[in-house]
Chain A
Amino acid sequence: MPEWARERSWELLLAVILVGTIVYNATQSPVYLDVDNFVNLFRLSIEKVIVAVAMTFVIINGEIDLSVASVMAFAACVLAAAHESGVPFGLAIVIALAAAGSAGLVQGSVVARTGISSLVVTLAGLIGFRGAARILLEDRSIGDFPDWFGNLGRDDFLGPMPFALVLVLVLLLVGGVILHRTSFGRRVYVIGNNADVARYSGIDVARVKLILFTTSGLVAGVAGVLFAARLGSVRANIGEGFELDIITMVLLGGVSIFGGSGTLLGVALAICIVLNLRNGLGLANVEANTQTGVIGALLIVSVLAQNVLDRLPIRRREAEA
């Protein structure tokens, strides 16, 4: 087995699975291979995909952000509440993004300064920011957004692709360059591998974590605003449970939950697999809730499979070398 293939064995496996899913789906439904169907399968989960890119950084860094779905809803509700109280819409978007960024900043500074596990800090965020969204909108639903905003969520922006999909491609590209080609990206890996070693090597661990959590909040905010654009109206409970799909995409992509390893290419492949799977199951008339169960199983299997793969002789030799 050539060197590159051994290093990228997880990505190869994902690629094989992806091709398998596509071929299987194509045999099941004649409309599956249409370009429209492909764009559509992205369109329906595009917000999760946006957040998954930022989540990849956070998990490689050895942390986790459970609050993303709540921050999405928080940003959307801030937008709606500001719009309702007569704030110009452009300014309302800025306020919503600033609110989401601050949400990330607050959680990031608690994690970075006190060393409290991000699991519990962002769990507090998951509950708390959903609560903030509830305070803002209570049980109302707010719509009546400007036309251009609704069009942003629904219409084609570039070729057959909506704005959010273009944004995802840009994010993946920029994210990939930052993660794999810059010193900041290397620091993210080093900290994820061993925060103590990173600290003693002179890396400002707290600053990197602060940047990552703030970015995660901000990206979740962008996703929340785009979600509002696509839905056309906002309620406090939008996006509930999205963290399951988002974390599944990242971990299925070969990112270790313990931090320090994984690639954005793997995550991109995993995103395609998850979306194709949901789409294929949908076309095969499997109910949405059963799909969620399948995603849950996939989440567990993706980590189990990594464990099994780590015990195979080729990986072990590599680890010993």
Chain B
Amino acid sequence: MSTAADVARLDGARSRSGRSAVWVRPERVKELSLLGVIVVALLVFGFLVDDYFSGRFFNRVTTSVAITAVLAVAQTMVIVTRNIDLSVGSIVGVTAYLTGQFASSNPSTSPAVAIAIAVGLGALLGAINGVIVAYGRVPAIITTLGTLAIYRSWLISHGEGRTITADSLPSWVVDLPTRTVFSIGGLDIRVAFAVVVVIVAVLQIAMQRLRWGRRLYAIGSNPDAAAQAGLPTRRLVLGAFVACGALSGFAGFLFLSRFGNITVVAGQGLELDSVAAAVVGGVSVLGGSGTLVGAFLGAVLIDVLDQSLVRVPQVSEFWRNAILGALILAAVIADVVVGQRFQRRWSAEARPHTKVDSSTDAPDTTKVPALTAPEQSGERGMPDA
């Protein structure tokens, strides 16, 4: 529902009405309500658990958020193009393991080299996904369900059950999680967390302001219209998968430094967390809508739950997945409700210019965006394909 309107609004808002429209957008509403949910969750846990708010808790959450948030953002870049990457967990496993292997056999290696290896390897695996999806025309869910199994089984046969141990790694890798940039009133801001926040901020601006970012949204909003408007859709989708792979590779490096001991099953299941964080963060799996900041907040909520449930006496950590599943469902249903509200308001506002399909009994999202995507590329000038 919101997919069509989002893109129309993002491009049209400033030029047409210029009023409050820029701020009262579904993304802002979603982000703010998610922030509200996080605050409520913290208050509830604070009520249930003694000594809940502590510097240690803050460190635990931010350390694990650093990994989940990178993956959530990576996943979002693919999802906005109406694709999905289920192989991110396997990419994290492969990059963490191979980077660990490299670092332990070359103890004098520098951080730059190790990170470059992790990111490059991730980008390569992402490129394999992207080529199969964009040029082989195999749906992303099929492709990445396949590569999820392929990458993992390659890693298992390559690793032969050996474990990378923290002792064998250069000390700077193992020390990284406890390195602090600065402290505010007893709360340490760790290096990894700070770097991830910067990455999220930069990518958010890029997705919002750069032509490349806008085009990813246009493709997700309506792939056919984007292709007809002359966008190089295949290249852009490939690019999104490479970016997702590269970020997952970086997450693999963070995973290595956080845990030190890496087995061949490292990172298993992280793909579900990344999709969950994105969806809870208001990213539409139908593509074309959602922000990286939202996905980041989704990751924060998931990690707050993860780190808190173990400490609540009434429930156990076994409740984690059940709550997560319910959260996803709640988020998508809320998404539909918010989307319909906005759609109704906008169609009332924009009636003189655009006819919005008012048949509310047929909420078929895939049909509506046809109106908006060509309009968008028109405003952005001629594509370079």
Interface string of B190-224 (1 = CB under 8 A from A): 00000000000000000000000000000000000
In the docked arrangement, what's the CA distance between A146 and B147, Å?
Answer: 41
A24 to chain B: closest CB distance in Å? 21
Instruction: Give Cα A130–Cα B157 distance, bound, in whole angstroms.
Output: 28
**B264, closest chain A residue (CB):** A289
Which positions 112-145 of chain A face chain B at CB distance < 8 Å? 114-117, 119-121, 123-132, 134-135, 138-139
Q: Do the beta carbons of A129 and B325 come within 8 Å of each other? A: yes
Residues of B within 8 A of A244 (CB): 145-146, 148-149
- From 59 to 104 in chain B, residues with beta carbon under 8 angstroms from any chain A beta carbon are 84
**A124 CA / B331 CA spacing, docked (Å):** 10
B139 part of interface (Cβ distance < 8 Å): yes
Question: Are A128 and B150 in contact, with the CB atoms below 8 A?
Answer: no
Contacts of B319 in A (CB 8 A): 131, 134-135
Known: A131-B322, A303-B142. A292 touches B272 (CB 8 A): no
Q: Is the CB of B285 within 8 A of A119?
A: yes
Answer whether residue B365 sits at the interface, using C-beta atoms and an 8 A cutoff: yes
Contact of A289 with B157 at beta-carbon distance under 8 Å, contacts A120-B279, A130-B321, A300-B146 already known: yes
- Answer whether residue A295 sits at the interface, using C-beta atoms and an 8 A cutoff: yes
Contact call B363/A128, Cβ cutoff below 8 A? no
What residues on A are CB-neighbors of B143 within 8 Å? 300
Q: Does residue B117 face the partner (Cβ distance < 8 Å to A)?
A: no
Q: Which residue of B lies closest to A294 (CB)?
A: B153
User: How many Å from the CB of B299 to the closest CB on chain A?
Assistant: 15
B362 adjacent to A196 (CB under 8 Å): yes
Q: Which residue of B lies closest to A302 (CB)?
A: B142
> Does A120 contact B332, Cβ atoms closer than 8 Å?
yes
Task: For the complex formed, measure the closest distance between the CB of B56 and the CB atoms of chain A, giving whole angstroms.
Answer: 26
Chain B contacts for A37, CB-based, 8 A: none
Given contacts A196-B362, A307-B138, contact A124 B332 (CB under 8 A): yes
* Interface check A296, CB cutoff 8 A: yes
Would you give the 0/1 interface string for B123-145, flagging 1 where the beta carbon is closer than 8 Å to chain A? 00000000010001111011101
Contact of B148 among A132, A135, A287, A296 (CB under 8 A): A296
Enumerate chain A residues within 8 angstroms of B256, measured Cβ to Cβ. Answer: none
Instruction: Output the least CB separation between A111 and chain B (Å).
Output: 11
For B141, list chain A residues within 8 Å (CB).
64, 119, 257
If A115-B364, A290-B157 touch, does A295 touch B149 (CB 8 Å cutoff)? yes
Q: Please tell me if B105 contacts chain A, counting CB pairs below 8 Å.
A: no
Residues of A within 8 A of B285 (CB): 117, 119-120
- B332 near A116 with CB under 8 A, answer yes
User: CB of B344 within 8 A of chain A?
Assistant: no
Task: Please measure, in the bound complex, the distance between the C-alpha atom of A305 and the C-alpha atom of B275, giving whole angstroms.
Answer: 28
Please indicate which of the listed interface residues B145, B147, B279, B326 has the most CB atoms of chain A within 10 Å of its own CB. Answer: B145
How many Å from the CB of A249 to the closest CB on chain B?
13
A132 to B322, Cβ gap below 8 A?
yes
A300 to chain B, nearest CB (A): 4
Whether B149 pairs with A293 at a CB distance below 8 angstroms is: yes
Bitwise, B306-322 to A at CB < 8 A (1) or not (0) is 00000000001011111
User: Which residues from B are CB-within-8-Å of A119?
Assistant: 84, 141, 285
The residues of A that contact B156 with a CB separation of less than 8 Å are: 287, 289-290
User: In the assembled complex, which residues on chain B have CB atoms less than 8 Å from the CB atom of A114?
Assistant: 333, 336, 363
**Neighbouring A residues of B132 by C-beta, 8 Å:** 300, 304
Q: How far is the CA of A303 from the CA of B137 in the complex (A)?
A: 9
Given A196-B362, A289-B157, A293-B154, also A123-B318 (CB < 8 A): no
A258 neighbours in B (Cβ, 8 Å)? 139
Distance in angstroms between the alpha carbons of A71 and B221 in the assembled complex = 32
Are B142 and A307 in contact (CB-based, < 8 A)? no
Please state if A127 and B139 are interface contacts (CB–CB under 8 Å): no
Task: Give complex CA distance A99, B314 in Å.
Answer: 24
B324 close to chain A: CB less than 8 A:
yes
A300 to B136, CA, bound (A): 10
> A67's closest neighbor in chain B, by CB?
B325
B276 interface residue per 8 A CB criterion: yes
Interface string of B150-190 (1 = CB under 8 A from A): 10111011000000000000000000000000000000000
- Tell me which residues across on chain A come within 8 A of B40, comparing CB atoms: none
Query: Are A115 and B363 in contact, with the CB atoms below 8 A?
Result: yes
B residues less than 8 Å from A292 (CB atoms): 149, 152-153
- A295 to chain B: which residues have CB within 8 Å? 149
Nearest-CB residue, chain B, relative to A129: B325
CB of B329 within 8 A of CB of A110, answer yes
- A299→B153 contact, CB < 8 A: no
- Contact flags A79-123 to B (C-beta < 8 A → 1, else 0): 000000000000000000000000000000010001111011101
Cα–Cα distance between A56 and B276 once the two chains are bound (Å): 26
B142→A251 contact, CB < 8 A? yes
- For B272, the chain A residues whose CB sits under 8 A away are 123, 126-127
Q: 7 nearest interchain CB pairs?
A: A128-B325, A131-B321, A293-B153, A131-B322, A296-B149, A124-B328, A296-B146
18 pairs, CB–CB < 8 Å, chain A vs chain B: A110-B333, A119-B141, A123-B328, A125-B325, A127-B324, A131-B322, A131-B325, A134-B321, A257-B141, A257-B142, A287-B157, A292-B153, A293-B150, A293-B154, A296-B153, A299-B142, A307-B137, A307-B138
4 A-B pairs besides A124-B326, A303-B139 with CB distance below 8 A are A115-B363, A123-B328, A124-B279, A138-B318
Name A residues whose Cβ lies closer than 8 Å to a Cβ of B.
Answer: 64, 110, 114-117, 119-121, 123-132, 134-135, 138-139, 195-196, 199, 236, 243-244, 247, 251, 257-258, 287, 289-293, 295-300, 303-304, 307
